[in-house]
Amino acid sequence: MKKIFTLLVLALFVQVGFAQEETVEKKDDINTIFTKENLKFTGGYIAPEIKVGNVNEDMSLFVGGKMGFTFNNSFSIGIAGYGLTTNSNFDIDYAGNPNTPARIGMGYGGLSLEYTLFSNKLVHFTVPVVVGAASIYVYEDDGDFFYNDYEDIENSAAFVVEPGVNLELNVFKFMRLDIGASYRLISGTDLYYLQDEDLSDLSFNATFKFGFF
Protein backbone atom coordinates (compact mmCIF):
# COMPACT_ATOMS: atom_id res chain seq x y z
CA MET A 1 0.00 0.00 0.00
CA LYS A 2 2.84 2.38 0.85
CA LYS A 3 4.46 1.71 -2.53
CA ILE A 4 1.20 2.40 -4.36
CA PHE A 5 0.69 5.62 -2.40
CA THR A 6 4.26 6.71 -3.16
CA LEU A 7 3.79 6.05 -6.88
CA LEU A 8 0.54 8.03 -6.89
CA VAL A 9 2.24 11.00 -5.19
CA LEU A 10 5.13 10.89 -7.68
CA ALA A 11 2.72 10.70 -10.62
CA LEU A 12 0.82 13.69 -9.26
CA PHE A 13 4.02 15.74 -8.99
CA VAL A 14 5.03 14.79 -12.53
CA GLN A 15 1.65 15.85 -13.89
CA VAL A 16 1.81 19.17 -12.03
CA GLY A 17 5.30 19.77 -13.41
CA PHE A 18 4.23 19.09 -16.99
CA ALA A 19 1.17 21.29 -16.53
CA GLN A 20 3.31 24.19 -15.29
CA GLU A 21 5.77 23.75 -18.16
CA GLU A 22 2.93 23.68 -20.66
CA THR A 23 1.44 26.84 -19.15
CA VAL A 24 4.78 28.66 -19.41
CA GLU A 25 5.28 27.55 -23.00
CA LYS A 26 1.78 28.72 -23.94
CA LYS A 27 2.39 32.07 -22.24
CA ASP A 28 5.70 32.64 -23.95
CA ASP A 29 6.62 30.38 -26.84
CA ILE A 30 10.08 31.95 -27.29
CA ASN A 31 12.79 31.09 -24.76
CA THR A 32 15.14 34.03 -24.13
CA ILE A 33 18.02 34.85 -21.82
CA PHE A 34 16.37 38.07 -20.62
CA THR A 35 12.71 38.34 -19.66
CA LYS A 36 10.52 40.93 -17.96
CA GLU A 37 10.96 39.01 -14.73
CA ASN A 38 14.76 39.00 -14.63
CA LEU A 39 15.62 42.25 -16.46
CA LYS A 40 14.49 45.40 -14.66
CA PHE A 41 15.17 48.97 -15.81
CA THR A 42 16.75 50.83 -12.88
CA GLY A 43 18.26 54.06 -14.20
CA GLY A 44 20.08 56.09 -16.80
CA TYR A 45 22.89 58.61 -17.03
CA ILE A 46 24.86 61.10 -19.14
CA ALA A 47 28.61 61.08 -18.46
CA PRO A 48 31.21 63.61 -19.70
CA GLU A 49 34.63 62.01 -19.74
CA ILE A 50 38.29 62.83 -20.31
CA LYS A 51 41.03 60.37 -21.23
CA VAL A 52 44.80 60.90 -21.12
CA GLY A 53 47.13 58.55 -23.03
CA ASN A 54 49.72 58.34 -25.75
CA VAL A 55 49.00 58.72 -29.44
CA ASN A 56 52.08 58.03 -31.57
CA GLU A 57 54.24 58.32 -28.40
CA ASP A 58 52.84 61.80 -27.69
CA MET A 59 50.86 62.41 -24.48
CA SER A 60 47.38 63.29 -25.70
CA LEU A 61 43.97 64.29 -24.38
CA PHE A 62 40.63 62.84 -25.51
CA VAL A 63 37.38 64.56 -24.55
CA GLY A 64 33.96 63.00 -24.97
CA GLY A 65 31.39 61.09 -23.03
CA LYS A 66 28.76 58.41 -22.95
CA MET A 67 25.12 57.88 -22.12
CA GLY A 68 23.41 54.70 -21.09
CA PHE A 69 20.49 52.91 -19.53
CA THR A 70 20.99 50.68 -16.48
CA PHE A 71 19.28 47.39 -15.71
CA ASN A 72 19.22 45.49 -12.40
CA ASN A 73 21.45 48.21 -10.87
CA SER A 74 24.43 46.54 -12.52
CA PHE A 75 24.38 46.32 -16.31
CA SER A 76 24.41 49.43 -18.55
CA ILE A 77 24.12 49.73 -22.31
CA GLY A 78 24.41 52.89 -24.40
CA ILE A 79 26.67 54.84 -26.75
CA ALA A 80 30.01 56.61 -26.34
CA GLY A 81 32.20 58.96 -28.38
CA TYR A 82 35.59 60.66 -27.96
CA GLY A 83 37.74 63.10 -29.92
CA LEU A 84 41.44 63.90 -29.82
CA THR A 85 41.90 67.53 -28.71
CA THR A 86 45.69 67.89 -28.58
CA ASN A 87 48.01 68.50 -31.51
CA SER A 88 49.92 65.19 -31.62
CA ASN A 89 52.54 66.69 -33.94
CA PHE A 90 55.28 64.75 -35.71
CA ASP A 91 57.49 65.15 -38.78
CA ILE A 92 57.08 63.12 -41.96
CA ASP A 93 58.72 62.82 -45.36
CA TYR A 94 56.07 64.32 -47.64
CA ALA A 95 56.15 65.94 -51.09
CA GLY A 96 59.94 65.95 -51.16
CA ASN A 97 60.29 67.57 -47.75
CA PRO A 98 61.72 65.11 -45.19
CA ASN A 99 60.72 67.36 -42.26
CA THR A 100 57.14 68.17 -43.09
CA PRO A 101 55.24 69.00 -39.86
CA ALA A 102 52.13 66.85 -39.57
CA ARG A 103 49.29 66.56 -37.11
CA ILE A 104 46.99 63.67 -36.15
CA GLY A 105 43.22 64.02 -36.00
CA MET A 106 41.30 61.18 -34.40
CA GLY A 107 37.85 60.33 -33.12
CA TYR A 108 36.17 57.11 -32.12
CA GLY A 109 32.98 55.78 -30.59
CA GLY A 110 30.31 53.13 -30.67
CA LEU A 111 28.46 50.79 -28.35
CA SER A 112 29.12 51.29 -24.65
CA LEU A 113 28.67 48.40 -22.20
CA GLU A 114 29.39 48.53 -18.48
CA TYR A 115 29.00 46.21 -15.52
CA THR A 116 28.88 47.66 -11.99
CA LEU A 117 29.71 45.64 -8.88
CA PHE A 118 28.02 46.55 -5.56
CA SER A 119 26.55 49.78 -6.93
CA ASN A 120 24.87 50.69 -3.62
CA LYS A 121 28.20 50.81 -1.78
CA LEU A 122 29.86 54.21 -1.34
CA VAL A 123 32.93 53.02 -3.27
CA HIS A 124 32.70 50.22 -5.81
CA PHE A 125 34.02 49.04 -9.18
CA THR A 126 32.80 49.21 -12.76
CA VAL A 127 34.01 47.31 -15.83
CA PRO A 128 33.29 49.30 -19.02
CA VAL A 129 33.99 48.47 -22.66
CA VAL A 130 33.49 50.46 -25.86
CA VAL A 131 33.22 48.64 -29.18
CA GLY A 132 32.96 50.62 -32.40
CA ALA A 133 34.83 52.49 -35.12
CA ALA A 134 37.56 55.11 -35.31
CA SER A 135 38.42 57.76 -37.88
CA ILE A 136 42.06 58.86 -38.19
CA TYR A 137 43.49 61.74 -40.22
CA VAL A 138 47.04 62.83 -40.93
CA TYR A 139 47.26 66.40 -42.19
CA GLU A 140 49.94 69.01 -42.73
CA ASP A 141 50.40 71.34 -39.76
CA ASP A 142 50.68 75.03 -40.70
CA GLY A 143 51.70 75.99 -37.18
CA ASP A 144 48.74 78.34 -36.66
CA PHE A 145 46.72 77.25 -33.62
CA PHE A 146 43.78 79.59 -34.29
CA TYR A 147 43.50 79.25 -38.07
CA ASN A 148 44.40 75.97 -39.69
CA ASP A 149 44.82 76.10 -43.45
CA TYR A 150 45.92 72.50 -43.67
CA GLU A 151 46.25 69.85 -46.35
CA ASP A 152 44.75 66.43 -45.72
CA ILE A 153 47.57 63.95 -46.34
CA GLU A 154 45.80 60.66 -45.60
CA ASN A 155 42.91 59.24 -43.62
CA SER A 156 41.49 55.87 -42.65
CA ALA A 157 38.70 54.19 -40.74
CA ALA A 158 39.50 51.46 -38.21
CA PHE A 159 37.97 49.13 -35.66
CA VAL A 160 38.29 50.03 -31.97
CA VAL A 161 37.67 48.15 -28.73
CA GLU A 162 38.46 49.73 -25.37
CA PRO A 163 38.01 47.68 -22.18
CA GLY A 164 38.71 49.22 -18.79
CA VAL A 165 38.19 49.19 -15.04
CA ASN A 166 37.06 52.07 -12.81
CA LEU A 167 36.84 52.90 -9.14
CA GLU A 168 33.44 54.59 -8.72
CA LEU A 169 32.36 56.92 -5.91
CA ASN A 170 28.72 57.76 -5.14
CA VAL A 171 29.00 61.54 -4.62
CA PHE A 172 25.27 62.31 -4.62
CA LYS A 173 22.24 60.21 -5.46
CA PHE A 174 22.28 61.85 -8.90
CA MET A 175 26.06 61.98 -9.44
CA ARG A 176 28.92 59.49 -9.52
CA LEU A 177 32.65 59.97 -10.11
CA ASP A 178 34.75 57.33 -11.89
CA ILE A 179 38.56 57.20 -11.88
CA GLY A 180 40.22 54.38 -13.80
CA ALA A 181 42.16 53.13 -16.76
CA SER A 182 41.37 51.59 -20.14
CA TYR A 183 43.25 50.23 -23.12
CA ARG A 184 42.43 51.69 -26.55
CA LEU A 185 43.03 48.95 -29.13
CA ILE A 186 42.94 50.15 -32.75
CA SER A 187 43.08 47.67 -35.62
CA GLY A 188 42.57 47.70 -39.39
CA THR A 189 44.06 51.10 -40.21
CA ASP A 190 45.13 51.74 -43.80
CA LEU A 191 47.73 54.49 -43.33
CA TYR A 192 51.25 54.98 -44.62
CA TYR A 193 52.62 57.17 -41.84
CA LEU A 194 50.91 55.50 -38.87
CA GLN A 195 50.38 51.91 -37.75
CA ASP A 196 47.79 50.35 -35.44
CA GLU A 197 50.24 50.22 -32.53
CA ASP A 198 50.94 53.98 -32.88
CA LEU A 199 47.29 54.69 -32.10
CA SER A 200 46.74 52.00 -29.43
CA ASP A 201 47.70 52.70 -25.84
CA LEU A 202 46.75 52.73 -22.17
CA SER A 203 44.61 55.69 -21.04
CA PHE A 204 43.77 57.11 -17.64
CA ASN A 205 40.18 58.30 -17.37
CA ALA A 206 37.97 60.56 -15.28
CA THR A 207 34.18 60.34 -15.71
CA PHE A 208 31.35 62.33 -14.18
CA LYS A 209 28.00 60.50 -14.30
CA PHE A 210 24.78 62.46 -13.93
CA GLY A 211 21.41 60.74 -13.85
CA PHE A 212 19.27 58.50 -11.71
CA PHE A 213 20.67 55.27 -10.37
Q: Is the pLDDT confidence value at 148 over 80? A: no
For residue 28, the model assigns a pLDDT of 55
Tell whether 158 and 122 lie within a shared domain. yes
For residue 38, the model assigns a pLDDT of 78
This prediction's pTM: 0.80
Domain hosting residue 18, numbered range: 1-31
For residue 6, the model assigns a pLDDT of 46
Neighbour-count burial for 114-135, b at 16+ CB within 10 Å, e otherwise: bebeebeeeebbbebebebebe
Instruction: Say how many C-beta atoms besides its own lie within 10 A of residue 105's C-beta.
Output: 16
Tell whether 150 and 175 lie within a shared domain. yes
Q: What's the first-to-final CA gap in the chain, in angstroms?
A: 60
Lowest mean pLDDT among 23-32, 35-44, 143-152, 167-176: 23-32
Judge whether 200 and 106 are in contact, CB under 8 Å.
no
Tell whether 47 and 3 lie within a shared domain. no
For residue 71, the model assigns a pLDDT of 95
Provide the pLDDT confidence category of residue 210 given band limits of 50, 70 and 90. very high
Mean pLDDT of 56-70: 96
For residue 65, the model assigns a pLDDT of 98
For residue 44, the model assigns a pLDDT of 96
Tell whether 118 and 13 lie within a shared domain. no
Tell whether 3 and 52 lie within a shared domain. no
Tell whether 26 and 48 lie within a shared domain. no
Question: What confidence tens digit (pLDDT) does each residue in 13-25 have?
Answer: 444 454 454 444 4
Tell whether 118 and 17 lie within a shared domain. no
Tell whether 141 and 155 lie within a shared domain. yes
Tell whether 27 and 39 lie within a shared domain. no
**Could you tell me where the DSSP H helices lie in the chain?**
2-27, 196-199
Number of alpha helices (DSSP H) and beta strands (DSSP E) in the chain: 2, 9
Judge whether 94 and 153 are in contact, CB under 8 Å.
yes
Tell whether 43 and 114 lie within a shared domain. yes
Question: What confidence tens digit (pLDDT) does each residue in 151-208 have?
Answer: 789 999 999 999 999 999 999 999 999 999 999 999 999 999 999 999 999 999 999 9
CA 73 – CA 92 distance, rounded (Å): 50
Domain count, the chain: 2
Q: What is the CATH number of the domain that holds 112?
A: 2.40.160.20
